[in-house]
Chain A
Amino acid sequence: MIDKKKIFKNIYKNSKDKVFRLCLGFTGNKMDADDLFQEIFIKVWNNLESFRKESSINTWIYRIASNTAIVFVSKRAKLLNKKNSLDLENIKLTDENTPIYSDKKMIQLYKAISTLKEKDRIIISLLLEKNTYAEIAEIIGIKISNVGVRINRIKKTLTKKMNSYGE
């Protein structure tokens, strides 16, 4: 049990930020992101004993996170339709020294990502976390060539959305 706690704390410390970003990009609001974040780490805890060391911890965490996110968003489909807009006040920067223009742009980015198709939200989140195409393909379960095609399309859509916010 002591070992389990130690491993869990270690995983939590190393992956909390990237998991939270995925949650926020996926749900588009902090309240749902917090719920999803909690759900993911409960699953991490419950599945810790079955984690095989030979597989990458990164892939393992992202698979749990993205699969939990898919179920989460399916359950909340009705709710999400009702509040499709991002609550700007709910997203905050932890670094107070960051310039204000950046804060606004960051909110716009998360807002834009949360309006993409569900699978695209996961793909772009993984890309922005600097995962390779091969890793993204492994997590999502598609061909590497397909990842490239999808990412190009997502980039175009995201650029359009970001530009429309800037107008």
Chain B
Amino acid sequence: MENNINEWTELWSQQKADNLDVDLLTKQLTKLDRITTFQKLFFLLVTIFSMYSMLTHLSKNIFNTTAIILILLGFLIILVPLFENKPNFKIESTNQFIENQIKYLKKKLLIPKVYILIFIILFVLALNIAFLGAFSELRNSTRIFFHFSTFILFIILFVARNKGVKNYQKKIFPLIEKLKQIKNQE
């Protein structure tokens, strides 16, 4: 058996990596780093600008302010789970990593299933509250029409979310299954 191992080690080490242009690789990776930094900065600036515009131009009454707060809350509910609990590739052992990866994927499933649903509810609620302030001068039938249109919007967003959940589950369930199978290998 020991002879086998020695022979296999010898055979194994004969395989070498192809000669890759490491200078070109580092150049491309540096470029990618710059793009990522730019995207992060751009996203931050757009967020700050939108919040500033909303708070200074739209929040002229209590209805709009409440609506803006609800929409921002909805965004936060989606954004926070996106950034938390990412498995750590570099410090976790394989077994630990597999366990955390399964937990992470299960949590990711909650994003379309729960968090997006909460966002949709908050968004439609915010629209209705904003309409209360904006159309207070209009006739009752027109106001009902606008409120009813938000109900239609809710149905459309709800159906789209359901479709998204199904697609997401189709992608993530096999991954979780495979990871569980690897985890249980003895």
Interface of A with B (CB < 8 Å)? Answer: 1, 5, 8-9, 12-13, 16-17, 19-21, 24-25, 34, 37, 41-43, 45, 47, 50-51, 55, 60, 63-64, 66-68, 70-71, 73-75, 77-78, 91, 93-95, 98, 102, 105-106, 109-110, 117-120, 122, 125, 127-130, 138-142, 155, 158-159, 162
Would you call A78 and B94 a contact (CB within 8 A)?
Answer: no
Docked pose: A121 CA to B78 CA in angstroms: 38
Would you call B95 and A50 a contact (CB within 8 A)?
Answer: no
Would you call A118 and B182 a contact (CB within 8 A)?
Answer: yes
Q: Which of A51, A71, A162 has its CB near the most chain B CB atoms (within 10 A)?
A: A71
In the complex, whether B55 has a CB less than 8 A from a CB of chain A is no
Judged by DSSP, the binding face of B is helix
Would you call A93 and B91 a contact (CB within 8 A)?
Answer: no
Docked pose: A108 CA to B185 CA in angstroms: 24
In the complex, whether B89 has a CB less than 8 A from a CB of chain A is yes
Would you call A12 and B95 a contact (CB within 8 A)?
Answer: no
Would you call A64 and B9 a contact (CB within 8 A)?
Answer: no
- Determine the residue in chain B with the shortest Cβ distance to A60: B90
In the complex, whether B22 has a CB less than 8 A from a CB of chain A is yes
Interface of B with A (CB < 8 Å)? Answer: 1, 4-5, 8-9, 11-18, 20, 22-23, 25-26, 29-30, 87, 89-98, 101, 174-175, 178-179, 182, 185
Would you call A93 and B30 a contact (CB within 8 A)?
Answer: no
**Which of B1, B4, B91, B179 lies in contact with A74, CB distance below 8 A?**
B179
Q: A8-B29, A70-B179, A127-B5 are known contacts; what are 16 more A-B pairs with Cβ within 8 Å?
A: A17-B15, A41-B25, A43-B89, A43-B90, A45-B26, A60-B90, A63-B92, A102-B11, A106-B11, A106-B12, A106-B14, A125-B12, A139-B93, A141-B96, A155-B5, A158-B8
Would you call A155 and B26 a contact (CB within 8 A)?
Answer: no
Least Cβ distance of B35 to chain A in Å? 13
Would you call A140 and B185 a contact (CB within 8 A)?
Answer: no
**Which of B11, B18, B25, B93 lies in contact with A63, CB distance below 8 A?**
B93
Q: Which residues of A contact B30 (CB under 8 A)?
A: 1, 5
Would you call A63 and B89 a contact (CB within 8 A)?
Answer: yes
Docked pose: A16 CA to B30 CA in angstroms: 19
